[in-house]
Structure 1
Amino acid sequence: MLAAQYNPGKKGLTLKNDYPVPYPGPGQILLKVAACGVCHSDIAFIDGSVLPHPLVLGHEISGYVVKAGEGVAQAFEKDTLYAVLAIHHASQSLNGLPALFDSPGAAYDGGFAHYVLVRPDQLVPVPAGVSPELAAVAADAGINAYKFVVRSAQVDSTCKQTVLVIGVGGLGHQAVQIAAHFGATVYACDPKPEAREVALKLGAVEAFSPSELETKVAEGFVVNVAMDFVARKSTFEAAKAALRNNNLSFPADPRLIVAGMTSETLEFSTLDTLTYNLTILTPQYGSRHDLEAILELYAKGAVTPVVSSHPLTEINQVLDDLRSGRVLGRTVVIPGEVEQSSTVNGIRDDYTRL
């Protein structure tokens, strides 16, 4: 099968046409990958050589069940599309890495391939009308955007909130839609004009460049939720500044959600948190319920991710585009069809349902 393998110290991924098709062991499911999203964490793994061993990357996966291993009691429909819950909250530390890394494309081979092994409890049925590309995006960008907006920021239709989304990327552009769907007045900030245009089309009432936001804050602009999907010093400071114009009566609980992943050190003092009654949260991956909820919003058309797709063979170009900031929304790769000429571990490469 075709697979894109990470090797520590190498900038790109190595495309291998003869990567072994895995065989499901006890308690495992073999999934035919329909689509796999490309994430900034994939770049962090590659450029930082974070992972200690070679493996296939890709954790934002959708696909179809091909074969169940011994001991899998649950029945799975072989023509049903499933999204893969990348991180189970019962995960334990693995090989000295945090539990966050106990996921496909981090602890074991992921979805930049024709097939991937998963556990039964990772599979979430995808509602009718949701494409494989959207189902893949839901498995990371979608689930996290939903959790950060609804559960971390506590945006809901019972309380009219004002939300600032900093960074209108793969997660941020969905956060704009989710917050607007739940009744918030949404503002956005991004240095790219095209990203600001996307934010306005998706429900933001205003979209600022970083310098425009700084001017607005100096003039008294205020929100009660700021979501930093970039997590750099400059964006963290901008998020704090947009919350400092609050007082203790409006609102009672301003929140700053740090939703990006960088190695930069972000600083705050107790003067920030006590004087402005500020809560700073750094949430991790969402739950199964969050994944089900965002898939339902996709199915209803309440949230429509901006997604572009490319063949898996173009993975290194996709990674370069993401590094360079040339991606709007989210990008997925499609493994496509496989040659029908061989059998590996008793599984035909034409992925006939077994």
Structure 2
Amino acid sequence: MRAVQVAKPGADFELIDRPVPQPGHWQVLVRTAACGVCHSDAMTKDGMASTYPRTPGHEVAGTVEAVGDGVTQWQVGQRVGIGWFGGACFTCTPCREGDFISCRAARVTGLSADGGYAEYVLAPADALAAIPDELSDVEAAPLMCAGVTCFNGLRGSGARAGDLVAVVGLGGLGHLGVQFANRMGFDVVAIARGEEKGEFARQLGAHHYLDSTAVDVAAELARLGGARTVLSTVTSSAATTATVGGLRPRGRLVVIGVPTEPLQVFAPDLILASRLVAGHASGTGMDSEDTLRFAALTGVRPMVETMPMAEANRGYAKMMAGQARFRIVLTAQ
């Protein structure tokens, strides 16, 4: 099979041929149709994989090719996705408490095992999610990381239908976050740089738009009644923390983008209104399946640009340079 690998930390992607792996106990072999390019793939290039060479990619959509011993819930030919979650150990304390995404084994597709930049990928049975017929493989792939992270971050935030919810950023994560927030019934505020993005934000489903270069974001959120939840999808620490003062009492800032510098929050802004700042991980295979079903039901779709798997270097470089609008998806064909 063809696969794209990182031979060693810092190396470019290289297209190679290797044998098709065979599923062992409780493993599933998936034939890849599409794999999203995620900013977190930089972790594989930068030396954070468990071993090298390593094939990146954790936004996988394809079909079941073969199943190993003990697998009963997946059938050959079934359409499935594989995301960041690479399976649970079921024995650590978080797993015993049912918090599988916090499993201490930290199994991550494309980091602790080879990922979806390949014609075939192996995964444990608990890592898979069923893809609804209403979604194409190209549409489903980005929802396996970007999608589930936004969806889970919102549905676990404590916000309820009718609440004011703000989404910071309109990029690869944010354009999905606004759609999910709208379909969940929130009063949606989109926050980004530049007035020209306002019309696009409204097309995605935002009811309000704030140009962060022209207004005091916290003051405007407060004027609207205060946000129950702010979902920050950006890599700017300043843009993330600028929203804290706009949270209503006991409101929550949910951080899913990874700022390049530490977050700095003025403590009284948290204490005096009992506000919270929370990080949020991606989601389990079941969380991803919930995301896919919700997207299929409500019309949430990623905006994508496709490239052949052989052009992984070009796709990755374009994504890292911020030139992708909005998700790049590699296709096996």
TM superposition score category, shorter chain reference:
0.7 to 0.9
Q: How many residues align?
A: 319
Q: Matches of 1:256 and 1:100 in 2, distance apart?
A: 27
Q: Which residue of 2 aligns with 1:133?
A: 138
User: Partner of 1:254: helix, strand, or coil?
Assistant: strand
Q: Matches of 1:214 and 1:327 in 2, distance apart?
A: 28
Q: Is the 8 A contact 1:3 1:114 kept in 2?
A: yes
User: Partner of 1:112: helix, strand, or coil?
Assistant: coil
TM-score (norm 2): 0.86
Q: Is the 8 A contact 2:189 2:209 kept in 1?
A: yes
Q: Which residue of 2 aligns with 1:6?
A: 6
- The aligned runs of 1:1-354 (5 Å cut-off) are 1-16=1-16, 18-46=17-45, 48-51=46-49, 53-69=52-68, 71-74=69-72, 76-87=74-85, 88=87, 90=89, 99=104, 101-151=106-156, 153-157=157-161, 160-191=162-193, 196-214=198-216, 217=219, 221=223, 222-243=226-247, 246=248, 252-336=249-333
Q: Is the 8 A contact 1:189 1:213 kept in 2?
A: no
The worse-fitting range, judged by mean Cα deviation, of 163-172 and 112-121 is 163-172
Structure 1 position 26, deviation (Å)? 2.5
Q: Is the 8 A contact 2:44 2:54 kept in 1?
A: no
Supply the RMSD in Å over aligned alpha carbons: 2.5
Q: Matches of 1:30 and 1:216 in 2, distance apart?
A: 48
Q: Deviations over 1:204-247 (max 9, x none)?
A: 1233332124367379544332111114321222222333xx4x
Q: Against the structure 1 CA distance between its residues 287 and 119, is the aligned structure 2 distance closer, same or farther, given a 3 Å change threshold?
A: closer
Structure 1 position 138, deviation (Å)? 1.9
Q: Is the 8 A contact 1:30 1:118 kept in 2?
A: yes
Of all paired residues, the percent bearing the same amino acid is: 28
Structure index of larger Rg = 1
Structure 1 position 166, deviation (Å)? 0.8
Q: Is the 8 A contact 2:221 2:246 kept in 1?
A: no
- Amino acid in the other structure paired with 1:162: L
Q: Matches of 2:53 and 2:296 in 1, distance apart?
A: 37
The worse-fitting range, judged by mean Cα deviation, of 300-309 and 131-140 is 300-309
User: Partner of 2:250: helix, strand, or coil?
Assistant: coil
Structure 1 position 198, deviation (Å)? 3.3
TM-score (norm 1): 0.82
Q: Is the 8 A contact 1:83 1:138 kept in 2?
A: no
- Amino acid in the other structure paired with 2:131: V
Q: Matches of 1:53 and 1:84 in 2, distance apart?
A: 21
- Amino acid in the other structure paired with 1:106: L
Q: Deviations over 1:232-267 (max 9, x none)?
A: 321222222333xx4xxxxx4211111112452112
